[in-house]
């Protein structure tokens, strides 16, 4: 693996992951800002989209300049596919249960973010400890959202989850693109 002094080959997987993160940030941002009123939601979503566009632009450039040789892509591995399949099944089961129990769906966003956090924690065990930090950041968002929802009610937990997850995904994607861009410049 390359270091700052010896960057080594930079494959496409980190940049593809950053693209996925930026798109996820927009999706979470849309979900979260729908729970905000007035111009606040519009402004927050505009910021999320702007940051995501910057990240996507950097990630696309990084993919074009990838030198390869960094090993097989995690996206093609059986482990990745099984983990994502388990994630989708857990999300579907949880949403079905919450729909019956919660009625208004106030905890659905939090459930999905929690499952996504677990999915990243699993990646951290097998692929890279980087995913542990991503899982921890999402877990903090989920805990904060549950507290806010419990205290304030309404859709406040959804707003915190959506906007918080958008910030986590954009920040992680931006750091990934920056790290790999800087590595190539050395």
- Residue 36 tokens, joined: 């905000």
- The distance from CA 87 to its chain's CA centroid, rounded to whole angstroms, is 14
Of these ranges, 105-114, 135-144, 150-159, the one predicted with the greatest mean pLDDT is 135-144
Tens-place pLDDT, residues 155-167: 899 999 999 999 9
- Residue-wise pLDDT for 24-51, tens only, equals 999 999 999 999 988 999 999 999 999 9
CB-based contact 163:8 (threshold 8 Å): no
The whole-angstrom separation of Cα 159 and Cα 110 is: 10
User: Do 27 and 88 meet the contact criterion of CB atoms below 8 Å apart?
Assistant: no
Is the pLDDT score of 111 beyond 60? Answer: yes
Selection from 108, 90, 91 nearest residue 99 by Cα:
108
With left for phi above 0 and alpha for psi between -120 and 50, is residue 10 left, alpha or beta? Answer: beta
pTM above 0.75, yes or no: yes
Torsions phi, psi for 51 (to 5 deg): -65, -40
């Amino acid at each position: 693996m390359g270091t700052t002094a010896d960057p080594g080959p930079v494959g496409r997987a980190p940049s593809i992951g950053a693209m996925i993160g930026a798109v996820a940030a927009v999706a979470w941002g849309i979900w979260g800002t729908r729970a905000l009123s007035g111009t606040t939601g519009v402004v927050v979503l505009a910021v999320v989209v702007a940051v995501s566009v910057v990240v996507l632009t950097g990630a696309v450039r990084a993919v074009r300049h990838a030198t390869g040789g960094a090993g097989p892509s995690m996206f093609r591995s059986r482990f990745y596919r099984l983990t994502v399949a388990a994630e989708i099944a857990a999300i579907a089961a949880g949403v079905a249960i919450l729909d019956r129990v919660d009625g208004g769906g106030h905890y659905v966003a939090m459930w999905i973010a929690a499952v996504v956090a677990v999915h990243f924690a699993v990646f951290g065990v097998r692929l890279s400890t980087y995913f542990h930090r991503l899982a921890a950041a999402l877990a903090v968002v989920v805990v904060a959202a549950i507290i806010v929802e419990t205290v304030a009610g309404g859709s406040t937990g959804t707003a915190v989850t959506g906007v918080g997850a958008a910030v986590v995904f954009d920040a992680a994607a931006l750091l990934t693109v920056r790290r790999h861009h800087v590595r190539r410049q050395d």
